[in-house]
Amino acid sequence: MSLFARLKADCRDDWNAYTRHAFVAGMGEGTLPQAAFRDYLVQDYLFLIQFARAYALSIYKSRGLGEMRHGLEGLKAILDVEMNLHVRLCARWGISPDMLEATPEKGGTVAYTRFVLDAGNAGDLLDLYVALAPCMIGYGEIGKALEPRAGDGNPYGEWIGEYASAGYQQLAAATIAHIDGLAADTMTEARYPRLRRLFASACRLEADFWQMGLDAGGGNRDGDGGE
């Protein structure tokens, strides 16, 4: 079993709590309160700024050009694709990029981003990518799962379409392959418990991030309530 598959299987409850959260279900059903999605987008934009720094750290920690190029592709996806999606969507509410950057980070945003950066600073490249994995790979899984419901006037169809796209699916698959390749070089059974803890913590922080948006929009964990 590959490292990513093993982590996902061993952290199944945390993974499902993240990828099947009420926020995610609400996007798929088109019933997520608009205020919840707007708050999430703004905080996620701030999150991506720090996430980009984590990918820049991965380039610094790389041992060769191949690893550096993989980190660069992730960095470009964040800066040139994901953040542009957030800017486009927020512009519909009159929120400019300057306004986005001026918004204070909420506690959940700070907790998650600093967790990832700390994992990378304290550990090696494998530690960093395991901490990054739930976000980069999980969004691909979520997008693919929600894609059949992205049409028919779903207000969250553009977001779903971005993460269900062939380009993002390829990036997620490349991330899995990269983690498994790093594990083949540096993985030992003695370090696996630490990697499992990193992965599980990142999944829980992802679920908390969804919940932060849901709470701001007046939703709840059952996904009740439309706009």
Instruction: Please give the positions annotated as active site.
Output: 135, 206
Q: Give me the numbers of helices (H) and strands (E) for the chain, helices first please.
A: 12, 0
Distance between CA atoms of residues 103 and 114, nearest Å: 17
Reduce the secondary structure of 161-226 to three states and give it as a string. Answer: HHHHCHHHHHHHHHHHHHHHHHHHHHCCCCCHHHHHHHHHHHHHHHHHHHHHHHHHCCCCCCCCCC
216: left (phi over 0), alpha (psi -120 to 50) or beta: alpha
Rounded CA separation 181/134 (Å): 17
